[in-house]
Amino acid sequence: MPRDLPIGNGTLLAAFDFDYQIRDFYYPRVGKENHALGYPWRFGVWLEGEFSWLGRGSWALHRDYIADTLVTSVSATHPRFPLRLYFNDAVDYEKNILVRRVRVQNLSTRTLAPRIFFHTDLNAMENEIGDTVFFDPKNACLIHYKGPRYFLTSCATEATLGVTHFATGTKRNRGLEGTWRDAEDGELGGNPISQGAVDSVIGIHLSIDAGQETVCHYWMAVGENYREVEELHRLAIQLGPDRLIERNTDYWRRWILAGEKDFYGLPPLLAERYRRSLLVLRTQIDRGGAVIAANDTDIRQFNQDTYSYMWPRDGAVVSQALDRAGYGGLSQRFLEFCAQKAVNYNYSASILAETGFLMHKYNPDGSVGSSWQPWLQGEEMVFPIQEDETALVIWAIWNHYLVHRDIEAIRPLYSPFVERAADFLMDFRSDKTGLPLPSYDLWEERRGVFTYTTATVIAGLKAAAGLATLFQDARAEAYLAGALEVREALDRHLYCQRDGRFARGILFDDGLQIRDSTVDASLLGLVVFGGYDPLDERMARTAQAVEERLWVKVGSGGVARYEGDSYQRAMESAGAPGNPWVICTLWLAQYRIAAAGSRKSLEDVIPLLAWAAERALPSGILPEQVHPVTGEFLSVSPLTWSHATLVAAMLDYAEKAKAMRRRSDIPDLAFSGRDRR
């Protein structure tokens, strides 16, 4: 089940599923360790002998955020309970405290005494072996712990403070499902300690007069030892859980102001999705700088692995979007992560010193992530890499400088990373063709020489030339010459004269070179990264082929990755070359924006931007891909790459519209977002 409503602070991240249950809970790094492991943390209601766990099967749920914040706004009603529930959840922006406020309305004409239950299914340090949960009478709370991981849970009503009804017990062992079953009769057993594979439930008994409402709170403090969580617990009491929620509401509303832009008449929904995307990006970035691709463990069912890694490519795209939006500090941390942490955790220092490339993906601490790209092909050692991941980080560093003009910030990145990475791009080329040597494509499915990858190498070498010039490095001319040579090689070998467009790439089979002419949405990267003129006839025909052959002609449309894409393919149809992807549809929008020469042609882009915005959940969360007909989320959500590409495309539109207005091509249009403040 895809994830919705991520909330976090860079150290602690919680993500809910469509039933409004926490399913992923990361600490002390975003993406690592997941103490929920995909198991649900339930919320239940008992009233007059009937019990129900919250979920779409029996409750009407509306899941959203408070506007322009990372504080949830969820409502729930049940057909047989005369109650309406309102929830707000927040992870404090500074302290590792998760707080939930529950407002319960009595819709009946009599006094009601509902009981509500908060279930916690912790698997400390990503396994359920050797956990302990106990009732702490000193602080009237429950504490889960194992090793250096402590989780303190407590609650309060308008009249009481601390846990008075609780249960601890065994889960998923010897036929026992979990302690959550103990809540279903409205009473909790009160067992004071359990050890092994354990979970816990806190109960709150309420009394609400007819037509009235009451408020209660639940919170969890997370730390490395008892003293730390106890201090956080005391802080939550001292500030008050309501104030914790309000201070986070205020903080995030102020945070989003840095991204305020004029979108020149775009529909308000697009401006809302832009702001939400920035907030979602913030939740997916670890405090150490790693930009995590997605933190949705539901994808484990395919190969027992997740997207909770830092792909340098995804991170570079996020970095440039954040820079352009006004969040240079986040971008700087990512660039430092690549230049200082990732390169030092390579498999072999000697290989790194000789080559300077980045690996396939990394864990949030900078160590090398899991990979399926082999080091051996036949009897030949090969590098298990995607070359675009190295090239695009150089590109992102140069873009960071162009936005902020802070030479001091990028100086520490040049010698340890840019020099070696750019030298690698220069050396990792064929003597015969001038093209980059084979590596894996951006989709991680085939090895060869690809047009998209080559475009990013051009971008990386041009960026390296700019940076080298900045630091008076004599290699600047060589890097620029290398970029031009690669561009010439791309034109010579990757343009298909017969088809009148660029090919996807060149594949190799038993020493034979085979041109791969598959239409692939990533070919639009020639404009985004390779610097190709969007009006170049070759490029225009390539874009036309992408639109004609990859546009999904069933359902609501969208652009598929490439012809015959089988990854999680939802249906076999001539009208659906694959599932529509958010990033691919937005790449087409970016191409059209770059090619637009008039107000009318720029306005023609709006349906593509709107397509992406309309694929989101009500909360604004975007997936990787959707079902061609139903729009159901497929694969992971939120996908960081999707949100970053929406931000970039929206900024492209705003910059193009502004440039047109300066040329008096379009008149002043009303600001489409919130009132200026």
Q: What average pLDDT score do residues 7-23 get?
A: 97
The pLDDT of residue 662: 84
Least confidently predicted of 258-262, 281-285, 449-453: 258-262
The mean pLDDT value of the chain amounts to 94
pLDDT of residue 22: 98
**Residue 356: what pLDDT?**
84
Q: Which of 47, 34, 2 is nearest to 21 (CA)?
A: 2
Distance CA 383, CA 360 (A): 10
Ordered by start, the domain boundaries in the chain are 42-255
Residue 348's pLDDT is 44
* Eight-state DSSP code of residue 675: P
**Average pLDDT for 507-525:** 93
- Contacts of residue 656, defined as CB under 8 A and 6 or more positions apart, other chains included, come to 593, 594, 596, 602
Tally the C-alpha atoms within 13 A of residue 223's C-alpha that lie toward its C-beta: 16
Q: What is the pLDDT of residues 602-622, one digit of tens each?
A: 999 999 999 999 999 999 999
Strand partners for 64: 73
**pLDDT tens digits for range 32-68:** 999 999 999 999 999 999 999 999 999 999 999 999 9
Least reliable range by pLDDT among 78-87, 346-355, 500-509: 346-355
**Lowest-pLDDT range of 141-150, 390-399, 432-441, 655-664:** 655-664
Give me the mean pLDDT over the 140-169 stretch: 98
For the chain, percent of residues with pLDDT exceeding 90: 88
The answer for residues whose C-beta is within 8 angstroms of residue 535's C-beta and 6 or more apart is: 595, 597
**Cβ contacts of 392 within 8 Å, gap of 6 or more:** 312, 313, 316, 317, 456, 459, 460, 529
Please give the pLDDT value at position 249.
Answer: 98
Q: Are 270 and 277 in contact (CB under 8 A)?
A: no
Please state, for a pLDDT cut of 70, what percent of the chain lies above it.
95
**pLDDT at residue 354, rounded to an integer:** 58
Torsion of CA 277, 307, 575, 527, to 10 degrees: 60
When pLDDT is averaged across residues 487-504 and rounded to a whole number, the result is 97
Separation of alpha carbons 609 and 345, rounded Å: 39
pLDDT score, position 670: 38
* Residue type present at position 250: D
> What is this structure's pTM?
0.95
What amino acid is encoded at 587 in this protein? W
Segment 147-174 mean pLDDT: 96
Q: Look at residue 102 and tell me whether its pLDDT is greater than 50.
A: yes
Q: How confident is the model at residue 300 (pLDDT cuts 50, 70, 90)?
A: low
The CATH number for 42-255, chosen from 3.20.20.150, 2.70.98.10, 2.40.110.20, 1.25.10.10, is 2.70.98.10
- The pLDDT score that the predictor gives to residue 668 is 47
